[in-house]
Chains A and B, each alone.
Chain A
């Protein structure tokens, strides 16, 4: 079946660096994408989303890029802080599928002070 996956299971960065977390998806019908942050023992927390009619969307310290040609999604975190340490998931969904998010495996971001 079609699935969402992540290239790097673990990413270690120094505090203050920029972080880039990548995600590949394979469902060409997906038209809505979400990034979630999950801290240990907690539920996923919404970070930012993007619809397929956009290539880029910016939030506070975060930017999501969408490349539909190669079915790739990335999350950029500027000036990474220790509090950003968590597991990050991308999720894809489609309007034809009631927008039910399908999650990838996740990337663990470790920020060293």
Chain B
């Protein structure tokens, strides 16, 4: 598709389980961002990739969160030992490059931990 694609759109998981959230950026976009958004709040930065490498992972809340982008395109956000507090919308975004280009967001993956 033409936009940023995220799957699944909705995920319900039990506390303690492992989840993976996938992001397909816009073709040709080298910059990729993951954000987390709780109800009534603005998106909160998690991690930024430029190409295959994580250029900035300062937003990851703890070591249960990890993200990869092995071929510089698709990215996967991985959450281990999920907690109820992880429930949120996880947003992925991409941009043509790192230099202040327009950032386009996907529709998000709504994660509910029960």
Contact with B along A24-65 (1 / 0, CB 8 A): 000000001010100001111110010100000000000000
Q: Is B25 an interface residue (CB 8 A)?
A: no
- Which residues from chain B sit less than 8 Å from chain A, CB to CB? 4, 33, 35, 40-45, 48, 50, 55-56, 91, 93, 98-108
Docked pose: A41 CA to B99 CA in angstroms: 29
Docked pose: A100 CA to B101 CA in angstroms: 10
Chain A's interface size range is 20 to 34
How distant is A24 from chain B, measured CB to nearest CB, in Å? 14
When C-beta atoms are compared, the residue in chain A nearest to B3 turns out to be A43
From the candidates A41, A49, A51, name the one contacting B102 in the complex (CB within 8 A): A49
When C-beta atoms are compared, the residue in chain B nearest to A101 turns out to be B103
How distant is B10 from chain A, measured CB to nearest CB, in Å? 10
Query: What B residues does A22 contact at CB under 8 A?
Result: none
When C-beta atoms are compared, the residue in chain A nearest to B50 turns out to be A98
For the complex with contacts A89-B42, A100-B45, A104-B42, 5 further pairs of A-B residues with Cβ separation under 8 Å are: A34-B103, A91-B42, A95-B100, A101-B33, A103-B35
